[in-house]
Amino acid sequence: MDTKKKEPVCYFQGEPVYGTEFKANKFPIETYPKVIIDLIGELETKLGFPVEFSAVSLLFAFATAIGSTIRLHFKKGFTVMANMYGVLVGDPGTCKTHPIRFMFKPIEDRQALYYKEYTEKMEEYNAFEKKSKKDKEELSPVKKP
């Protein structure tokens, strides 16, 4: 029986996360700008996030942010979207989810803000639509969001 206390793989919101040890090939982190390398390093040292998972999670977030707005032109008349895909593979408890949540938080915050603005505008539009034709003539029109 192993009586040694198991060390946490990482910490999330101050709580230890336990799991099996993660070993993989080194991610080419040097391809990132220095500010990103520093961020990933801080995530590793302060929160215990594996470098590989943080680096790939950043690519996931970047791919989500660009969506289908970037197109690649390989030759005349041949254009494709710059789709990016990625997978994090590891045993349960190897701290895969936490880097993804961290990298996607700014996107989710922005999306929540946009959704709030949309619902406010939609409420304003619905209130305008419920008014009588006579009342609408006295008000400036409200565009449907």
Q: How far is CA 6 from CA 15, 16, 19, 21, 68, in A?
A: 14, 11, 9, 10, 44
CB 63 within 8 A of CB 39: no
Confidence (pTM): 0.69
Backbone angles phi, psi at 100, to 5 degrees: -65, -45
- Number of domains forming the structure of the chain: 1
pLDDT tens digits, one per residue of 8-47: 766 666 777 666 555 555 788 888 999 999 999 999 999 9
How confident is the model over 122-133, as pLDDT tens digits?
A: 999 999 888 888
Indicate whether 2 belongs to any domain. no
53 token code pair: 């998972």
Q: How far apart are CA 22 and CA 41, in angstroms?
A: 17
Confirm whether 145 is domain-assigned.
no
Average pLDDT value for the chain: 86
pLDDT the model gives residue 81: 86
1 vs 135 pLDDT, higher one:
135
Query: What domain range includes position 103?
Result: 10-138
